[in-house]
Structures are given as C-alpha cells and as structure tokens.
Amino acid sequence: MGSGKRSLTTAAMALACACACVALATPGVAYASPTPTPTRTPTATPKPVSNNDLEEVRKKLDKLYHQASVATDAYNAAEEKAQKQSAEIVDLAREIVKGQAKLDKLKDRAGAAARAQYRGGGLPPEARLWLSDDPQEFLDGAGRVRQGEHAAKGLLAEMTRTQQDLEQYAKDASAQWKKLEANRKAKAEAKKKIKERIAAAEKLESQLEEKEKERLAKLEEEAAYQAQTTWLSSGILAEINGKASEQGKKAVKYATGQMGKPYEWGAEGPDSYDCSGLTSQAWASAGHGIPRTSQEQWKQLTHVDIKDMRPGDLIIYFDDASHVGMYVGDGAVVHAPRPGRTVTITGAGSMPILGVVRPDA
C-alpha cells in the first residue's frame, strides 16, 4: 500500500506538472503578454466648395487675368516702340555714314583749293598785277580767282552744314538709344507683371478639384450668358445691320480660321495669339495694317456707333481698353480670351463694351 500510495502521489504530481506546461504553452491565456490594438485615425472628408466660394474664385481669376491683359498691352506697346526706335537708329546710322563720306569729299576739295592758293603765292592782286607781263592775262586770271573764291566760300558753307547735320544725327541717335533702353525696361517690368498674375491665377485654379473646375467653368459661362442676354434685351441687335466691306470679309475669314488655337500673351500667330495679336494680324491679312495693341487701336482707329457696326469692326472692352474682339455678325465676336483658353466665338455683349472702331473707315 505504501508503495502504491507513493506511486499514485508521484503520478498525480506528474500530471499536474504536465497540465501546467500545457497551460503555459497555450496562447491567449493570462500568462501571455497582451498585444496592443492599432488605433485608426479617422479620414477627414474635404469640405465641399460652395457656389459662393467658386463665385469669389471666378471674380479673383477675372481680376488677375484682366491685370495680366493690361500688362500684356503695355508689353506689346513697348515692343512696338522698340522696333520703331531700332529702325530709326539704323536709318540714322546710315545717314551718319553717308554724311561722313560727304564731309571727307568736301575736305578733299577744300584741301585742293588751299594747295592751289598756296601755289599762287598768296600775293595780293595789286602785287600780282605789278609783276605780271600781260595785264589781260592777269585780269582773266583774276576773274577765275574770284570764281574760285566764291566756290571756296560755298564749299566751306557746305562743309559747315554737313558737319552740323552729322552732329544732329548723332544727338538723335543718342536720344533714340535712351528711349530704346527705357522701353526695354518697360517691357521687362510688364513681362514680370504678366508672369506674376498668370502664375497667381494658375495657382488659384490648381487648388480646385476637377469637379470644382467644371463648376467654375459653368459659372463663367453663366456670367457671360447673363451679360449677353442683358445686352440683347436692349434691342440693339435689331438696329445692327451693317454689311462687311471686302477687306472686312477677309479679316473675319482670317480671324475665324484661327479658332481653337491657344491664347498666348505677346503672340501674333500663326500658332497662338493674344487678343490684339489676333485682330491686328487679321487686318494685316486683309491688306490693311492697324496698331498692335487694343489701347492703340482704340486711340487711333475711327470710332463708330454700336448700332452702325459691321463684320470686321473691332469691339474694345473694359474702361482701360485692355481687350478687343472682332465683330462677326449676329451679335457675336471672335476673340482670344485669356491664358488657358483658345480663340473662340462668344457674345459681343458678354464683356463690358467700351466702344467700336473701324479699321477701314
């Protein structure tokens, strides 16, 4: 019995140890270290942009692109002036070269006259008469001398005028160089402003989602449509019935033929245009040159009443004449709108009209 009890006790202890080992080896029991559960950060849902917010964006974009358009006109004007000044400087340089060659010839003639006088000894006429063996020969010679003296005086006067002309040419050239340098600075400043405004506008647009950009485009269309509707509601279209001139037809054909080509500030085609680049090239293609910028087109071309306009006429927009389109009839214009857009046809009254000008008045 003793040995049996000992055996049972030993077996019981062994069984208890085995159970304990199994329990320690089983995962998920109290003896195992707890594994931390990862915490999920809730994803923030972007707040939708309201129509009011998009309308504010549209107004800001309009303002930035309008400022860029004004700067573009300033750049184009400076570029046009610089081209004219460069041409004038070249012309002046040619005149200086010709004047210098003329002065050199006059100096040669003056030198020859001086040498002839030196060979005559420089004696006064009374002395030469006293020394002469033939008085008649002396008198004939004296007549030639008087003629020579008159010629010499004329030669000296011509030399003086030529010298004065050369000095004036040099002054004019210097003045043109100063103007050219000033226009180069104006161009650089305008170019900087253009890039700044366009970059700001592009940054503003880049912050919008694709759906928001689509909504913004619709807001732009709606604003243009409302402006056009207001303009047409005045009954103005019923009064406009002018027929295009032959040159006007050619200009319209050229301008509408550029539809779909991108806007690019300072561009005059053939692959891209800004607003006045399109209108000036259209009329150049019709054989009638006009100023390069919308502001100069407004200043220099003949003004006509809106009710009297005809296809080919130019409609100038905004109080500062910073935009231009070409009237094509039926209350519409073809124009190059702004960066990011292409040459297109839109309502003539979709923008604030300053007035109408006629290139071939």
Q: What are 55's two structure tokens?
A: 């309308």
Task: Report DSSP state, residue 199.
Answer: H
Residue 321's pLDDT band (boundaries 50, 70, 90)? very high
Residue 169 pLDDT greater than 50, yes or no: yes
How far apart CA 34 and CA 16 sit, in angstroms, is 26
List, for residues 204-260, the tens digit of each pLDDT value: 888 888 888 888 889 889 999 999 999 999 999 888 988 999 999 999 999 999 999
Mean pLDDT of 64-93: 85
List, for residues 259-302, the tens digit of each pLDDT value: 999 999 999 999 999 999 999 999 999 999 999 999 999 999 99
Instruction: Give strand ranges (E) for the chain.
Output: 302-304, 314-317, 323-329, 332-335, 344-347, 353-358
List, for residues 90-140, the tens digit of each pLDDT value: 888 888 888 888 778 777 776 776 666 555 555 555 545 454 556 555 555
Predicted local distance difference test score (pLDDT) of residue 326:
98
List of residues 6+ apart from 344 with CB closer than 8 A: 259, 260, 334, 335, 337
Q: What are phi and psi of 355, to 5 degrees?
A: 170, -175
Tally Cβ neighbours within 10 Å of residue 293. Answer: 28
Residue 303 pLDDT greater than 60, yes or no: yes
How far apart CA 340 and CA 137 sit, in angstroms, is 92
How far apart CA 111 and CA 133 sit, in angstroms, is 30
Could you list the active site residues? 275, 323, 335
The pTM is what? 0.64
Quickly tell me which residue has 């210097």 as its tokens. 174
